[in-house]
Chains A and B, each alone.
Chain A
């Protein structure tokens, strides 16, 4: 027995060396991609017209909403089908505060984010006490309820026609009306949310999330309360959707109930799933697939969503972790193969 152990040691050591190099290469490739994307986004206004910038702003707003969903679904492991309705609540709250009460956009932003977080906590509380996918059904109903209210309370929301002529805000007298300025505003918001996200995931608090997702029984035995953490994740996720909604309104300069319907919530889920749930890059990739990619694939016309939904199903069957999960998967395959080769 004893003379075998060094042999095993060697083998493990050899495998981990290969794993190290492959993961280092992957990491370097990852950093290069990040750098290229960031530089390209910084200089985008020099090369793109207002339509291109609008699309990129749209991508940024969508990414913020999907990042919120990522907290609920990717880290806390619960399906939520109300992300679009929280976006709607955020958009309508801030727009009405600005238009009817004359409050500054920035205060409206803060209030809308808080309102969405609070409603998220209120909805999540009953649904998360029960095991299983009750959150999915309660949020499904909630999304429908929000649309009903937006459509029918027309003295406030102008009903199905929606609210036109939403003005873009200014900050310290600096107007964000021009496409390039609003684009930079969206990018700054996206960066702030992403940094907050990155910080949250790395904090002890975020590690608790991961522990709950990966092994809820063990995490609970260590004294973490699943319900509380999941509830907090869902509430913050809803708040982020609210922020996305607040930016969405002046970006499109128009809001109507239909844009925040269940369909949108479902698409958000597919975005996150295809991009990679539980990863920082996932929401960026997922919203890229749905917002930006169709522009290059114009020839697909109306068939794009059909192609995308088939793509997602096939992707899930082969890579249940989404596109962001392909890198780690290949790495694992590679190191497994090298282990097998040594044996």
Chain B
């Protein structure tokens, strides 16, 4: 039971990071119907950017994150939106899907050329101590990760529901034409979601790279896990992506321990196929609902 609880906490903690990536992914989908196949590579590359900043300015990981943030906002928010998405949004979503796949390969091969093919160590954000409480062991890093992720997602929810800009973004997601008539600058709102997504992937990179190590090929796994979280939870809303993230993280951890370590990624994939088969709108989603 103690082991089970421990696995559960660890699973929820990694799941929370998947949720951050998945939430950004669904935000882009909501406002601009962009299916970003480079999402995992965004996380991978942001991790390297943080490492590069640490090396260049000779600072610790947290200040490095703060310096890296504007860089990733520029790269994966502004430039991604203006250079790639805006010219392609007028076609069907098809060329855009392929373009993000191209971007993913570019980032992956680019990271390999710049930083090499070996995994680089990434410093822990929170020291990895073990807490014992009533027979349950939990790592401080896991609890901190969970706390940070939940804090960010609640903040994001409040921003979307309570502020004028947030509500304008929501309107853009629900019906861009009506939003435009109401005087909302739809294009600007879409840009904001891209910036939010860039910030989310950078935070995710900060939290997950200590465990994954910085490696050029991380994007594939991370992207896959985020897509699965988004779809399993319900593609159409932030809450769904959050729950999906938790579910995928827990399933992966429990499956790896109790059934098979080699097949740890297989369990979420099987869940994904089952969800698509029986409840394509997602476990927590409702059919044809569009919300941010």
Could you say which of B6-14, B71-79, B92-100, B136-144 contacts chain A? B92-100
Whole-angstrom distance between the alpha carbons of A313 and B84 in the complex? 8
A148-B263, A303-B113 known; A269-B273 Cβ under 8 A: no
Interface size on A, as a range, is 35 or more
Question: Nearest residue in B to A127 (C-beta to C-beta)?
Answer: B276
- In the complex, whether A166 has a CB less than 8 A from a CB of chain B is no
B99 partner residues in chain A, CB cutoff 8 A:
312-313, 316-317
Residue pair A133, B276 in contact (C-beta under 8 Å): no
A229 partner residues in chain B, CB cutoff 8 A:
none
- In the complex, whether B106 has a CB less than 8 A from a CB of chain A is yes
Question: Nearest residue in B to A273 (C-beta to C-beta)?
Answer: B98
Residue pair A138, B84 in contact (C-beta under 8 Å): no
Residue pair B106, A313 in contact (C-beta under 8 Å): yes
Of the residues B87, B98, B112, B220, contact of A312 by C-beta under 8 Å: B98
A148 partner residues in chain B, CB cutoff 8 A:
262-263, 265-266
Question: Nearest residue in B to A302 (C-beta to C-beta)?
Answer: B113
Of the residues B91, B109, B272, contact of A320 by C-beta under 8 Å: B91
- In the complex, whether A126 has a CB less than 8 A from a CB of chain B is yes
- In the complex, whether B101 has a CB less than 8 A from a CB of chain A is yes
How many chain B residues touch A (CB < 8 A): the figure is: 40
Whole-angstrom distance between the alpha carbons of A320 and B97 in the complex? 12
Whole-angstrom distance between the alpha carbons of A19 and B265 in the complex? 55
A32 partner residues in chain B, CB cutoff 8 A:
none
Interface residues of A in 40-93 (CB under 8 A from B): 77, 79
Residue pair B262, A306 in contact (C-beta under 8 Å): no
Whole-angstrom distance between the alpha carbons of A306 and B112 in the complex? 10
Residue pair B35, A133 in contact (C-beta under 8 Å): yes
Question: Could you give, for residues 39-55 of chain B, a 1 whenever the CB lies within 8 Å of some chain A CB and a 0 otherwise?
Answer: 00000000000000000
A129 partner residues in chain B, CB cutoff 8 A:
280
A126-B276, A270-B105, A317-B87 known; A137-B231 Cβ under 8 A: yes
A126-B276, A138-B273 known; A313-B94 Cβ under 8 A: no
Residue pair A138, B105 in contact (C-beta under 8 Å): no
Residue pair A306, B106 in contact (C-beta under 8 Å): yes
Residue pair B265, A138 in contact (C-beta under 8 Å): no
Question: Could you give, for residues 134-161 of chain A, a 1 whenever the CB lies within 8 Å of some chain B CB and a 0 otherwise?
Answer: 1011101110110010011000000000
Could you say which of A8-16, A176-184, A259-267 contacts chain B? A259-267
- In the complex, whether A293 has a CB less than 8 A from a CB of chain B is no
Residue pair B276, A312 in contact (C-beta under 8 Å): no
Residue pair A305, B220 in contact (C-beta under 8 Å): no
A148-B262, A302-B113 known; A77-B273 Cβ under 8 A: no
Interface residues of A in 236-266 (CB under 8 A from B): 262-263, 266
- In the complex, whether A309 has a CB less than 8 A from a CB of chain B is yes
Residue pair B109, A152 in contact (C-beta under 8 Å): no
A306 partner residues in chain B, CB cutoff 8 A:
106, 109-110, 113
Interface residues of B in 96-147 (CB under 8 A from A): 97-99, 101-106, 108-110, 112-113
Residue pair A316, B98 in contact (C-beta under 8 Å): yes
Residue pair A262, B273 in contact (C-beta under 8 Å): no
- In the complex, whether A192 has a CB less than 8 A from a CB of chain B is no
Most buried by B among A137, A144, A305, A306: A137
A127-B276, A148-B262 known; A316-B105 Cβ under 8 A: no
A266-B101, A302-B113, A306-B106 known; A126-B277 Cβ under 8 A: yes
A130-B280, A305-B105, A309-B102 known; A317-B88 Cβ under 8 A: yes
Contacts A152-B262, A317-B88, A320-B91 known; list 8 others, CB within 8 Å. Answer: A77-B94, A137-B276, A138-B276, A141-B272, A270-B101, A303-B109, A312-B98, A320-B94
